[in-house]
Amino acid sequence: MGSRFMEFSVCTGTVRKYGYLSGIAVGVPTNLWPIPVDTVPTFIISISVPVHWRLMASTKLKTVLITGCSGGGIGAGIAQELANQGHHVFATARDISKIPTELSSLSNVTILRLDVTSQPSITEAVENVTTVTERIGSAGLDVLVNNAGYGYSMPLLDVDIEKAKALYDTNVWGPVRMVQAFCDVLAANKGRVVMISSAGAAVNTPWIGAYCSSKAALTNISETMRLELAPLGISVITAMVGIVQTNFAQNVGSSDATLPSDSRYLVIKDFIFNPKSIENSTGGAKINDLARALVGDILTKEGGGMVWRGYKAGSNYFLTENRGLDVFLKSLQ
């Protein structure tokens, strides 16, 4: 149950949802609403057209900067989808060698080395973006997608505070630095900020509390920015992303996959560091599908606020069930 906002027009008989345009609607079926799916009619007769096709036909080509475009991740997927549509993409990463060749080889893609924890790196990126946008005839940057981030799997009793601070520096303050630095070029085009957050921000999830709390902080900051930037003509979207087939779960599980020798949780270490206990890497949405779903959020000028995208984005999938707490409790008895 993720969420997608839909508009229903009785006079035209059309249903509009981010991801698809449907005609001759007789019902509104979706498991992508922010309400329980069993409260929504479950049938439709329609001809559906992917909304990104409509956007390709009706939206002027835009300039979009995306952070965290290493291969196999959401950033690279979004960048590839937008570049394939002809938009000019600034694909960035701390290590640009990790950006896929099929992306970096495109003529409408500019590769930039960018570390969101480094102010000098960000300042240099602003200068490079300004130079390129002026050359291609754009007044500024149309969209900033703050995607860069990483995870940390560890019981909170065992969390290394310095590592948790570093996590927040990337996941929370990195996007803030980016918006501060790119505000002028975004305002010049009445642009848009897209924050890639996580459905995990809304649920208390054992063993990844440091990561989920960083996304909760980002979500709060993003929604506050939406209010503060609106007078400048800059809209802000917070994408609450569900389960996606990326390398993220493996990275979270392996980044510090060792409990302290005196940890109370040694008996369930396999639950804590098993990627499938963090994220169902085989059952999630494919990156390309998620990227296409996000295209409407990225390119449209309509509205702002929180949107829920990806497999089980709006469900309580990230609850404590099957996360080893039952085993841990038995070990204490």
Neighbours of 270 (CB within 10 A): 10
Alpha-carbon dihedral angle through residues 292, 297, 302, 308, given to the nearest 10 degrees? 120
Q: Is 229 helix (H, G, I), strand (E, B) or coil?
A: helix
Residue with tokens 């149309």: 142
Pair 226, 235: CB distance under 8 Å? yes
**CA distances to 104, 162, 227, 236, 262 from 305, in Å:** 31, 32, 9, 6, 44
Q: Which of 135, 170, 171 is nearest to 63 (CA)?
A: 135
SS3 letters across 236-254:
EEEEEECEECCCHHHHHHH
- Where does residue 52 rank: exposed (0-12), middle (13-18), buried (19+ CB within 10 A)? buried
Rounded CA separation 100/130 (Å): 24
Please give the distance of CA 283 from its chain centroid, rounded to a whole number: 18
Q: Provide the annotated active-site residues.
A: 211, 215
Between CA 80 and CA 88, with CA 82 as vertex, the angle to 5 degrees is: 105
How does DSSP assign 133-200, residue by residue?
Answer: HHHTT-SS-SEEEE---------GGG--HHHHHHHHHHHTHHHHHHHHHHHHHHHHTT-EEEEEEEGG
